[in-house]
Amino acid sequence: MGAAYVGRNVILGAGIAGISAAWHLQQRGEQSVIYEQDADWGGLCGHFVIDGFRFDRFVHFSFTPDEQMAALFERSSPLYSHVPVCYNYWHGHWLRHPAQNNLAPLPCEEKVRIIEDFVARPRKDAASISCYDEWLRVQYGDYYAEQFPFAYTRKYWGHEAHELETRWVGERMRVSSLAEVLRGAFVEQEENFYYTSHMNYPKKGGYRSILDRCREDLDIQFNKKVTAIDVKERVVYFADGSRIPYSRLFSSVPLPEMVHIVLDCPAEVQRAADQLSWTRGYQVSLGFNRPDVAKYLWFYIYDEDIPPARVYSPNLKSPDNVPTGCSSLQAEVFYANDATLPPAEEVLRITVDQLKEICDFSEEDIIVRNIHFEPYANVTFTPPIYSARETVLSWLRSLNITPIGRFGLWDYLWSHQAFQSGADALREMGMKG
């Protein structure tokens, strides 16, 4: 095929949703071309390699409940199945996750304050609560809410808890019983309270290799940044001066960008897009010349003077991610889209200095250090999101543009849900298998 191919199906973005859309089209006997602004495929499921250390672009595991999808991922790459045992770091203490169920390592007075407030928390139906601040207080009690999820909200979402709504929460956060809280305060529990029993990760090739079978025969054109879409003529224009006609257009381009790319965007759609919020992020990636720096598959950090919200261990996800005898860490530091970003070198320096204390390594142990910026990390669920998102999505669909993926649909999608969005897009266009 190649650049000369003029297909009726054009897909913008070679992330997991774009790959999925192209693969599902292929299963129906239809060709497509994916146009990707980067020099490689995978999007946020992609990776980069430095001196033999592989680091994913943001961190993913697969835990799809769909057996057919799971089998497809497994055929692409044999998987490790990890029990999701993760930890929380809070003021020098390590607690298994979720922290409220695993209070045993804390000093007695801290446990008393947490349990006392948990017992005295307001009695209200959580399903009726729309403010995240109130939801947290009703679920956990004031003291725990203020020390743990309030702090994490500022670090992960870049907002105060009262600025968020609650419909996104779902099963992502554990709601504990008094018996669970009391039991975990007396003894360190073996029970895993995480919302899934396993987290899968490819044995070789980084996270994106779960898509290897799907990606195999697809036509992907790289370094193709979209600058304009003329929906009347059905033509996409690129920064390199080229253009491509289309009959069907699938897009994983973030909605705040689409309103600038599609020609003649109405003012009310632009105003709606301006109400959408998201986080951006730095990834601090470290490689070590010793095998034992990484202790946990991942952990959360609640201390607000320590930049990362989460830290993962690529070598524990798969030893293929590091050279023999080495280990690695990858820390994620998030900011609201309208926040002023500190200089990357400052974030790198502070993060490394803090992690030295937390993870017990020295300067001499580090052989790779890198800081990488991603302009889109997560969709933020501030109250205007639903009406604003619907305004933008309805406008795009009225122009026969089908949104896909986390930022194309502007939703909190896990990777298997983003993959499913590629299949759903074909049904949305009335393309039956």
Three-class SS of 251-314:
ECCCHHHHHHHECCCCHHHHHHHHCCEEEEEEEEEEEECCCCCCCCCEEEECCCCCCCCEEECH
Together in a domain, 281 and 371: yes
- CATH code at position 221: 3.50.50.60
Tokens 């720096």 map to which residue? 293
Residue 412 within a domain: yes
- The residue-averaged pLDDT of 250-261 equals 98
SS3 152: helix
| pLDDT value for 431 | 59
> What tens digit of pLDDT does each residue of 334-357 get?
999 999 999 999 999 999 999 999
Residue 79 within a domain: no
Cis peptide before 245 (omega within 30 of 0): no
Together in a domain, 349 and 392: no
Tokens 């897909």 map to which residue? 11
Together in a domain, 151 and 289: no
Residue 406 within a domain: yes
| Residue 411 scores a pLDDT above 50 | yes
Higher-pLDDT residue of 249, 428: 249
Quote the tokens at residue 317: 């996800």
| Residue 7 scores a pLDDT above 60 | no
| pLDDT value for 2 | 40
| pLDDT value for 158 | 97
- CA–centroid distance for 238 within its chain: 27
pLDDT grade for 171, boundaries at 50, 70 and 90: low
Together in a domain, 216 and 121: no
Together in a domain, 259 and 352: no
Dist. CA 226–CA 35, nearest whole Å: 8
Which residue range(s) make up the domain with 247?
Answer: 9-46+206-267+384-428
pLDDT grade for 4, boundaries at 50, 70 and 90: very low
Together in a domain, 99 and 112: yes
Dist. CA 416–CA 68, nearest whole Å: 11
- The residue-averaged pLDDT of 184-195 equals 85
Tell me which of 129, 155, 186 is where a domain ends: 186
Together in a domain, 262 and 398: yes
Residue 245 within a domain: yes
Residue 67 within a domain: no
- The residue-averaged pLDDT of 284-288 equals 98
Together in a domain, 116 and 260: no
Together in a domain, 115 and 155: yes
The total of structural domains in the chain comes to: 3
> What tens digit of pLDDT does each residue of 212-222 get?
999 999 999 99
- CATH code at position 288: 3.90.660.10
- Lowest mean per-residue pLDDT among 34-38, 186-190, 204-208, 427-431: 427-431
- The residue-averaged pLDDT of 147-166 equals 97
For the chain, what is the mean pLDDT? 94
Together in a domain, 171 and 211: no
Residue 68 within a domain: no
| Residue 5 scores a pLDDT above 70 | no
Residue 4 within a domain: no
Together in a domain, 150 and 174: yes
Task: List the helix and strand counts (H, then E) for the chain.
Answer: 15, 19
Closest CA to 64 of 406, 412, 416: 416
Tell me which of 151, 186, 221 is where a domain ends: 186
Together in a domain, 177 and 105: yes
| pLDDT value for 194 | 77
Residue 61 within a domain: no
pLDDT grade for 172, boundaries at 50, 70 and 90: low
The amino acid sitting at 341 is L
Residue 250, φ and ψ in degrees, nearest 5: -110, 135
> What tens digit of pLDDT does each residue of 103-135 get?
999 999 999 999 999 999 988 888 889 999 999
Provide the whole-model pTM: 0.93
